[in-house]
Chain A
C-alpha cells in the first residue's frame, strides 16, 4: 500500500514541516491500514474526441468540453473505478468519534491511499502509450450526473460494491472514478486541478 506522509499532510491542510501533524497522520495510517480493502475495475476503450465530448466504442458519449479538451489527440482511453471499501468509512467514523483530529487525519490519509492506489493500478497497465492524468465527473464542466454512465459501463456496483447515492456521491466514500487518455505523447504537463474552475479551493495543486 502506497502511503505518503507529505501527501496526507497536504490533504489535512497542515504545514509540510509540522511534526505533530506528521505523527498524527502516521498514527492514523497505522490504524487504517488493516481496514483497507482495495479493489478496482479497469477497461480500455477506443474513442473519438468530439468538440463537446467523447464518444466511446461501446456507443456511450460523455458530454463535456473540458474532458474533450483534456483528451485531445487520444484514440484510446482507460476507464477506471477504484475503492478502499466500506470498512474504511466505518473506521473513519469511529476515529472521528474519539477525536476530531484523528477523524480529519483519517480523511486525509484515506484520500492519499486511494490516489496512491489508482497510481499503482495505472502503472501496471501494459501500454506503450502515455497516460494523461485522471479526469473525473465533476471536473471542469463535466456534469457529475455522467458518473452514472461510467458506473453502468464499469458495473461498479457488481464488480466493486461501489454505489452512487441519490445525490451522486460514491459509497464507500473513499473511491475514485476516472477517464485516462492514452496517446503517443502527453500533450502538455497537466495537473488534475488545472481544469477546475474553483481557483480558491484550498486543495488546489500548483497554480
Chain B
C-alpha cells in the first residue's frame, strides 16, 4: 500500500518526539543524535517500536540534522548516516501493518543568503544528497519538518522533487503570533509550499495543540492540501533553567480530538510527546474521518514575509523597474548598481505598491545573470512580493527558482512556443502567471477573440496541472489613438473574465500611447477598468493622478470601509505653499543635514550656475567642513551622516538635471566587505561619502571572494581599493585579499573596520588605515589630489 493512496482518505498518525526521548536515554546536549543510528541502533529502534506499538502509521527517521554541514571535519558520510536511519526505521516497522517510513529533513542550521551566508543552490544540494540516500534506502515518503524559513523550505522541496518521486509532507514551525522565525505568516508559507507541489502541509514544534488551534483556520483557508499537525506537548515552559512540556497524554489526546475534527488528515507529536501521548491520542481519535483536501479558490502571491491576495481591492503592481525609456536605470543595470534598483523599488512601495514588477531586459546585458542578482537584492530589503517580468526563458527560470515565496510571472501568451516553455516553469515553481490575450494570430481586435485566447491558455494550463486560480488574464490595453473601441474592448474582456471567476491584470498606461496629457486618460481609464472588475493594475504608483483614482474608487465602492484609508491619506494633506520662506543656501543645508532644503537649494543654484560649479562651490566645501568638524570632534557621527544624506539628495537633483550619468566620469574606487564578513554598514557609509565627492564607487557588496576583488580592480583599472572587515575572524580574509591584489594590480589599499588598528593595518600590508569614513575619503582625496 502506498502513502498517497491513504493520505487524506483515512486519518493517519505520525509518531512523536525522537530528540527528547533520546535525551532521556542519555543523549548529551550538543551531541549529534543522528550518530546514534550507528552507535545506539538498538535504542533508536526501541523508540520507533514504542511508537509503532502505540499504533502510529508513520515513523520519522532519526535524520533530522543529518546534513553534511554537521559532519565537516569528520570522515562521517551523510549518505551512510541517512541510510542507517532509514534502515533502523524500516526494521522497526517490519511486522506492523499499514506503516510508512518518513525520511526526516530538518533545517540545515544555516541561514540562507542574502539573510545569512548559505547560497540557495548549495542548500538545494545539501538536501538533494540526503534525499538520494534516503530514497535509495527505501523511505516511503519525505517529511520536511520544523522549518522556520520559507527559503530553506523551498530549497528542500525542490531537492525532493528533483531527486525522487516520493510523496512530500511539509510541516513548519510558527510562533504564537503565527509567524515564522524569518517573519512569514501562515498564508505566505502555505501558498508557496502548495505551489511547489507538496502532498500535505502542516505545523510542527514550537506550539502545543491549543496554540495550533488558533492558527489552523488560516492554514485550512489558504491551501487545498491535506493538513498535518505534529504539536509539542504544550508550550515549552522554562523552569529552573530547564525546558519543560506540561501537557500530559490525556489532555493531549482530548485537544487533538478537537483539532482533528476541524479538518486534519495526519496527526502526531513533536517535542515533549511520548508513546503515551501518541497512544492516548490514537485510542481517542482512531476512526475519525480524515479532513482530506478542500477546494481553494484564492488567487494570491507571496514573499517570505507576506501574501498579497487578489481580492476586492485591485492589487497595485509598480511598473517602474523597467529600463524602457529610463536612461538612469539603464546605466544602473549596466553598472550592476543594485542599490539604485532597490531604491526604485522602495519608492514604489512607499507610494502604495503591493507587488513590484521586475524587468531588467535590455540589449547588451546578460539578463539571466542580472535578474538572478536583482531578485535577491530586492528581497533582501523588502517583503513586498515581486512580479518577474521577462520573455527570456533562461532569465525566467533563474528568477523563479531564486525567488523566495510564491512568485508572480509576467507572462505567458497563446503562442505554442510560449505555452510549451512557460507553463512547465509555472507548474514547477508554483507561480501565478499573467496570460496575455494574444497568439500566433496577433491580438484579436474583438472581445470574443481575446476571451477565446484566454480560455485556450487556461485549458492548456490545466493540462499541465495548473489551476485557473493561478492564472490572471491581461486583456491588453491598446492605445485609443489608433482605435476608438480599444478601451471598451479591454474593459469588456475584464468583465467577461470576471464572470468566469478569472482574475485580470493590465498595464493601464498603454491606453494613452501617442496622446498628450496621458495621466488624464490613464487615470480615467483606470477607473473604468476597476469598475469593470480589474483585479490588478500594472501602473506607476508615483503618479498622483493614478493613486488618487485608486483611493477614490475604493472609497466610492465601499471597499475602503468607512473611507478610513481615504481619510488618512487626504485629510491631513499638506497645502502647497506658494512662497518659500527662509530659503537656505546649499552649503548651510548640507551642513545642517536637511534633505528637503538641500534639494530645493540645489535646484535654485542650478538655475544660475553650472552643475560642476554647484558641486565645487557649495557641496564639496560643505562636506569638507563637516568632515573636518568630525575629525576635530566638534561634530559627531549623526551630523556627519545626516549631512551625507543631504548632500546625496542634492547630488541626485544635479544628476537628474544633467540627465543621468552624473558620475560616469568620476575617478573609480572599488569597495568591498571581505569574504566571510556580512556586516556592511561601515562600508555603505564610506560609499555614500565618496559618491558625494563625485567618485564612481564600484561596490562589490559584502562577503566578497578574494578573486572578485582582484578581477574588479583589474577590469576597472581602479587606483584605490577600500576593504572593510568587522571581526577578528575576517581580518585574515582581508590580509589574503591584499596579498592577492599586490601580485596582480598596482593600486592603493585602504582598510577599515571595528577591530583594526594602525599597526594591525600595516602588518597586513594596507597602504592606509582609515579609522572613520571621513579619514577614508580624505585619503582618497589625497591620492587623487582633490
Give the Cβ gap from B188 to chain A, nearest Cβ, in Å: 13
Identify which of A60, A125, A157 gathers the most chain B CB atoms within 10 Å of its CB: A157
Give the Cβ gap from B470 to chain A, nearest Cβ, in Å: 27
Question: Which single member of A18, A41, A58, A144 contacts B728 (CB below 8 Å)?
Answer: A144
- Which B residues from 654 to 704 make CB contacts under 8 A with A? 675-679, 681, 684-685, 688
Does B286 count as interface, using CB distance less than 8 angstroms? no
- CB pair A163–B110 under 8 Å, yes or no, is yes
Question: Which single member of B30, B111, B305, B676 contacts A161 (CB below 8 Å)?
Answer: B111
Does A74 count as interface, using CB distance less than 8 angstroms? no
Alpha-carbon distance between A100 and B639 when the two chains are bound, in angstroms: 11
Which of B157-165, B174-182, B565-573, B582-590 is near enough to bind chain A? B174-182
Q: Which residues does B use to contact A, with CB under 8 Å? A: 28-30, 106-107, 109-111, 115-117, 146, 148-149, 175, 179-183, 238, 240-243, 305, 339, 342-343, 346, 380-383, 593, 595, 636-639, 641-642, 644-645, 648, 675-679, 681, 684-685, 688, 726-730, 733, 754-755, 757
Alpha-carbon distance between A144 and B243 when the two chains are bound, in angstroms: 26
Alpha-carbon distance between A74 and B30 when the two chains are bound, in angstroms: 22
Given A161-B111, A172-B111: A20 touches B642 (CB 8 Å cut-off): yes
Given A160-B181, A163-B111: A39 touches B679 (CB 8 Å cut-off): no
Give the Cβ gap from B756 to chain A, nearest Cβ, in Å: 11
Give the Cβ gap from A33 to chain B, nearest Cβ, in Å: 14
In the A-B complex, the 5 residue pairs with the closest CB atoms: A44-B241, A161-B181, A167-B676, A171-B116, A152-B30
The size class of the interface chain A forms with chain B is 35 or more
Give the Cβ gap from B367 to chain A, nearest Cβ, in Å: 23
Given A39-B181, A167-B729, A171-B678: A152 touches B111 (CB 8 Å cut-off): no
A-B contact list, 21 entries, CB within 8 Å:
A13-B638, A24-B638, A39-B175, A39-B181, A60-B30, A89-B115, A90-B380, A97-B343, A98-B346, A103-B684, A104-B638, A105-B638, A125-B241, A157-B110, A161-B111, A165-B111, A166-B676, A167-B677, A167-B730, A169-B727, A169-B729
Given contacts A96-B681, A104-B681, A167-B730, 10 further A-B contacts (CB under 8 A): A41-B243, A86-B181, A86-B182, A98-B343, A100-B641, A104-B685, A144-B727, A165-B116, A167-B675, A169-B679
Question: In the complex, what residues of A have CB within 8 A of residue B240's CB?
Answer: 44
- CB pair A101–B642 under 8 Å, yes or no, is yes
Question: Which single member of A92, A101, A105, A125 contacts B644 (CB below 8 Å)?
Answer: A101
- Chain A residue at minimum C-beta to C-beta distance from B117: A165
Question: In the complex, what residues of A have CB within 8 A of residue B116's CB?
Answer: 163, 165, 171
Alpha-carbon distance between A166 and B648 when the two chains are bound, in angstroms: 35
- Chain A residue at minimum C-beta to C-beta distance from B342: A97
Give the Cβ gap from A156 to chain B, nearest Cβ, in Å: 9
- Chain B residue at minimum C-beta to C-beta distance from A24: B638
Given A86-B183, A104-B685: A171 touches B115 (CB 8 Å cut-off): yes
- Chain B residue at minimum C-beta to C-beta distance from A78: B241
- CB pair A100–B685 under 8 Å, yes or no, is yes
- CB pair B642–A167 under 8 Å, yes or no, is no
- Chain B residue at minimum C-beta to C-beta distance from A59: B28
Question: Which single member of B29, B241, B638 contacts A58 (CB below 8 Å)?
Answer: B29
Alpha-carbon distance between A164 and B380 when the two chains are bound, in angstroms: 18
- CB pair B305–A13 under 8 Å, yes or no, is no
Does A21 count as interface, using CB distance less than 8 angstroms? yes
- CB pair B678–A96 under 8 Å, yes or no, is no
- CB pair A198–B148 under 8 Å, yes or no, is no
Question: Which single member of A43, A85, A104 contacts B637 (CB below 8 Å)?
Answer: A104
- Chain B residue at minimum C-beta to C-beta distance from A144: B729
Give the Cβ gap from B332 to chain A, nearest Cβ, in Å: 13
Question: In the complex, what residues of A have CB within 8 A of residue B342's CB?
Answer: 97
Question: In the complex, what residues of B have CB within 8 A of residue A153's CB?
Answer: 29-30
- CB pair B638–A103 under 8 Å, yes or no, is no
Question: Which single member of A58, A85, A99, A201 contacts B645 (CB below 8 Å)?
Answer: A99
Does A42 count as interface, using CB distance less than 8 angstroms? yes
Question: In the complex, what residues of A have CB within 8 A of residue B637's CB?
Answer: 12-14, 104
Question: In the complex, what residues of B have CB within 8 A of residue A130's CB?
Answer: none
Alpha-carbon distance between A15 and B638 when the two chains are bound, in angstroms: 9
- Which A residues from 52 to 98 make CB contacts under 8 A with B? 58-60, 78, 85-87, 89-90, 92-94, 96-98
- CB pair A37–B175 under 8 Å, yes or no, is yes
Give the Cβ gap from A27 to chain B, nearest Cβ, in Å: 12
Alpha-carbon distance between A41 and B241 when the two chains are bound, in angstroms: 9
Give the Cβ gap from B58 to chain A, nearest Cβ, in Å: 21
Alpha-carbon distance between A161 and B111 when the two chains are bound, in angstroms: 8
Give the Cβ gap from B17 to chain A, nearest Cβ, in Å: 13
Q: Which residues does A use to contact B, with CB under 8 Å? A: 12-15, 18, 20-21, 24, 35, 37, 39, 41-45, 58-60, 78, 85-87, 89-90, 92-94, 96-105, 107, 125, 138, 144, 149, 152-153, 157-158, 160-161, 163-169, 171-173, 198, 200-201
Question: In the complex, what residues of A have CB within 8 A of residue B639's CB?
Answer: 18, 20-21
Question: In the complex, what residues of A have CB within 8 A of residue B383's CB?
Answer: 87, 90
Question: In the complex, what residues of A have CB within 8 A of residue B182's CB?
Answer: 85-87, 161
Question: In the complex, what residues of B have CB within 8 A of residue A39's CB?
Answer: 175, 181
Question: Which single member of A20, A58, A100, A168 contacts B688 (CB below 8 Å)?
Answer: A100
Given A101-B593, A157-B107, A167-B730: A90 touches B115 (CB 8 Å cut-off): yes
Given A58-B28, A167-B677, A168-B727: A100 touches B645 (CB 8 Å cut-off): yes
Alpha-carbon distance between A96 and B729 when the two chains are bound, in angstroms: 25
- Chain A residue at minimum C-beta to C-beta distance from B675: A167
Identify which of B116, B339, B648, B754 gathers the most chain A CB atoms within 10 Å of its CB: B116
Identify which of B115, B383, B676 gathers the most chain A CB atoms within 10 Å of its CB: B115
- Chain B residue at minimum C-beta to C-beta distance from A105: B638
Give the Cβ gap from B72 to chain A, nearest Cβ, in Å: 10
Alpha-carbon distance between A156 and B678 when the two chains are bound, in angstroms: 19
- CB pair A86–B685 under 8 Å, yes or no, is no
Alpha-carbon distance between A188 and B225 when the two chains are bound, in angstroms: 60
Question: In the complex, what residues of A have CB within 8 A of residue B29's CB?
Answer: 43, 58, 60, 152-153
- CB pair A168–B729 under 8 Å, yes or no, is yes
Question: In the complex, what residues of B have CB within 8 A of residue A173's CB?
Answer: 678-679
Alpha-carbon distance between A44 and B381 when the two chains are bound, in angstroms: 37
Question: In the complex, what residues of A have CB within 8 A of residue B688's CB?
Answer: 100
Question: In the complex, what residues of A have CB within 8 A of residue B685's CB?
Answer: 100, 103-104
- CB pair B636–A14 under 8 Å, yes or no, is yes
Question: In the complex, what residues of B have CB within 8 A of residue A99's CB?
Answer: 595, 641, 645
Alpha-carbon distance between A172 and B755 when the two chains are bound, in angstroms: 21
Given A99-B645, A153-B30, A173-B678: A12 touches B638 (CB 8 Å cut-off): yes
- CB pair B727–A167 under 8 Å, yes or no, is yes
Alpha-carbon distance between A86 and B149 when the two chains are bound, in angstroms: 10
Give the Cβ gap from B759 to chain A, nearest Cβ, in Å: 11
- Chain B residue at minimum C-beta to C-beta distance from A98: B346
Given A103-B681, A158-B107, A172-B115: A85 touches B382 (CB 8 Å cut-off): no
Question: In the complex, what residues of B have CB within 8 A of residue A92's CB?
Answer: 681
Given A169-B679, A171-B115: A87 touches B241 (CB 8 Å cut-off): no
Question: Which single member of A85, A89, A149, A163 contacts B30 (CB below 8 Å)?
Answer: A149
Question: Which single member of B117, B380, B755 contacts A93 (CB below 8 Å)?
Answer: B380
Given A86-B181, A101-B638, A161-B148: A94 touches B28 (CB 8 Å cut-off): no
- CB pair B678–A169 under 8 Å, yes or no, is yes
Given A44-B241, A169-B727: A85 touches B641 (CB 8 Å cut-off): no
Give the Cβ gap from B637 to chain A, nearest Cβ, in Å: 5
Question: In the complex, what residues of A have CB within 8 A of residue B678's CB?
Answer: 165, 167, 169, 171, 173
